[in-house]
Structure 1
Amino acid sequence: MKLVASDLDGTLVRRDRNVSPRTIATFQRLHAAGVIVVLVTGRPIRWIAPVHSQLGIPALAICANGAATYDPATDTIVHSSPLEASVLAEACTRLRAEVPEVVFAVERDGGRQMRHEPGFPVGPWEADHDSVAPLPLADIVTRPAAKLLVRAGVQSPDEFTARVGACLTGLAEATNSSSSGMVEVSAAGVTKASALALVARSHSVTAADVVAFGDMPNDLPMLTWAGRGVAMANAHPAVRAAASDVTKHTNEDDGVAEYLERLYGL
Structure 2
Amino acid sequence: MTQTPRLVATDLDGTLVGQDRTVSRRTAEVLRRLDAAGVLIVLVTGRPIRWLHPVYDQLPVAPIAICANGAATYDPGTDSIVHSTPIEPGTLAEVCERLRAKIPGVVFAVERDGGRQMRHEAEFPVGPWEVNHHSVGPVSYAELLTRPAAKLLVRAGVQQSDEFTALVGECLEGLAEATHSSSSGMVEVSAAGVTKASALARVAREQAVTAHEVIAFGDMPNDLPMLAWAGRGIAMANGHPAVLAAAHDITAETNDGDGVAVYLEQLYRY
Q: Same fold (TM over 0.5)?
A: yes
Q: Amino acid of the residue matched to residue 259 of structure 2?
A: G
Consecutive unaligned residues in structure 1, runs of 5 or more:
none
Q: State which of 15, 29, 33 in structure 2 corresponds to 1:29.
A: 33
Q: Residue 5 of structure 1: SS of its match in structure 2?
A: strand
Which of these residues, 235, 253, 260, is aligned with residue 257 of structure 2? Answer: 253
Q: Report the counterpart of residue 101 of structure 2 in structure 1.
A: 97
Residue of structure 2 equivalent to 1:159:
163
Show the counterpart of 2:43: 39
Distance in 2 separating the partners of 1:126 and 1:73: 25
Paired residue type of 1:63: C
Indicate which of 203, 213, 217 corresponds to 1:213. 217
Task: Say whether 1:236 aligns with 2:240.
Answer: yes
Taking the aligned partners of 1:193 and 1:55, their CA distance within structure 2 comes to 24
CA deviation vs aligned residue, 1:148-199 (integer Å, no higher than 9, x gap): 0000011010000000000001100000000000000000000000000000
| Match runs of 1:48-59 below 5 Å | 48-59=52-63
Which of residues 3, 14, 23 in structure 1 aligns to 2:18?
Answer: 14
Cα deviation for residue 73 of structure 1 reads 1.7
**Corresponding residue for 1:111?**
115
Match of 1:61, SS?
strand
Summarize deviations over 1:199-249 as a string: whole Å, max 9, x none: 000110000000000000000000000000000000000000000000000
Deviation readout 1:27-82 (Å, 9 max, x if unpaired): 00000000000000000000001111211213000000000000112110000000
Normalised by the size of structure 1, how large is the TM-score? 0.99
Structure 2 unaligned blocks of 5 or more: none
Report runs of 4+ in structure 1 exceeding 3 Å deviation: none
Letter in 2 for 1:201: R
**In structure 1, distance between residues paired with 2:87 and 2:256:** 34
Deviations 1:80-130 (A, max 9, x none): 000000000000000000012000000000000000000000000000100
CA distance in 1, matches of 2:165, 2:103: 12
More displaced stretch, 122-131 vs 49-58 = 49-58
TM-score, with structure 2 as normaliser = 0.98
Superposed CA RMSD? 0.5
Q: Which residue of 2 aligns with 1:80?
A: 84
